Amino acid sequence: GAGVSQTPSNKVTEKGKYVELRCDPISGHTALYWYRQSLGQGPEFLIYFQGTGAADDSGLPNDRFFAVRPEGSVSTLKIQRTERGDSAVYLCASSLIGGPGTGELFFGEGSRLTVL
Amino acid sequence: TQLLEQSPQFLSIQEGENLTVYCNSSSVFSSLQWYRQEPGEGPVLLVTVVTGGEVKKLKRLTFQFGDARKDSSLHITAAQPGDTGLYLCAGAGSNDYKLSFGAGTTVTVRA
């Protein structure tokens, strides 16, 4: 596609359930980022992939959160045993070269997660 | 924890007026970016500044990076309703691949 695609756009789940959020980056972009944005806040970094490997996962809040990018393209963010505090918009971004200091991040529209 | 502080948090002005939003930090950044985000969409890059003291202009928008590379400002001249949105600043350290975002300034331009 022309831009970063995220699915689902909206997800409502119950506390304790497992959730997967998918990101399809711009073709050819080697760098992929996951951010989380709560109401009234700026995006909060979660994890950064360069190719297939997680180059920086320091933003993942705890071990319930995990992300993969097995073929260096599509990425999946996985959240186990969801909690109400996980409710937020999860944004995915990709970049051609990686390294935000020099490159532009292209964001998807986000996946809005609501945990009841 | 947000390393970048943005002010004001909210700004509502009449069409044709000027406005300035600020982005401040105690940290030095190798580069700083400004994004605009509209409801239901992801942020879209407006500009990247990398040199202390740098000034960049994008039509009616003027961006300045502080001499010490710790702060930045965005000035909009003759604001239009289409300028309405959430303006986010984001910085990266020299060895840091992750962008740290401020909380944003919500700008509303009334027709």
- Tens digit of each residue's pLDDT (9 = 90 or more) over B33-49: 999 999 999 999 999 99
**CB-based contact B88 A42, cutoff 8 Å:** yes
CA-to-CA dists, residue A5 to A34, A93, B5, B80, angstroms = 13, 9, 30, 30
Strand order in the sheet with B61-65: B5-7, B19-24, B71-76, B61-65, B55-58
Confirm if A103 and A1 have CB atoms less than 8 A apart.
Answer: no
Range of weakest confidence among A27-36, A50-59, A94-103, B9-18: A94-103
Please check whether residue B37 is in contact with residue B85, taking contact to mean a CB–CB distance below 8 angstroms.
Answer: yes
Mean pLDDT of the region A104-113:
94
With a pLDDT cut of 70, the percent of chain A lying above it is 95
Q: How far is B78 from chain A (nearest CA, A)?
A: 26
Strands (E), B15-70: 19-24, 31-37, 44-49, 55-58, 61-65
User: Cα A106 vs. chain centroid, distance in angstroms?
Assistant: 12
| pLDDT on residue B3 | 84
Task: Choose among B40, B88, B99: nearest Cβ to A100.
Answer: B99
How many CB atoms are closer than 10 A to CB B111? Answer: 8
**Which pLDDT belongs to residue A102?**
55
Give the distance, in angstroms, between the CA of residue A35 and the centroid of all CA atoms in the same chain.
5
- pLDDT at res. A103: 73
CB contact under 8 A, B2 and A42: yes
Q: Are A43 and B88 an interchain contact pair (Cβ–Cβ within 8 Å)? A: yes
- CA of B84, closest CA in chain A: separation in Å? 16
Which of A19-23, A30-34, B23-27 tops mean pLDDT? A19-23
| CB contact (8 A) between residue A109 and residue B42 | yes
What pLDDT is attached to residue A104?
84
Q: Average the pLDDT over B82-98 and give the result.
A: 87
Mean pLDDT, range A16-41, rounded to an integer: 95
Q: Which is more confident, B31 or A25?
A: A25
Contacts of A102 in chain B (CB under 8 A): 31, 48
> Chain B 9-68, CB below 8 Å of chain A: which residues?
30-31, 33, 40-45, 48, 50
d(CA A43, CA A58): 15
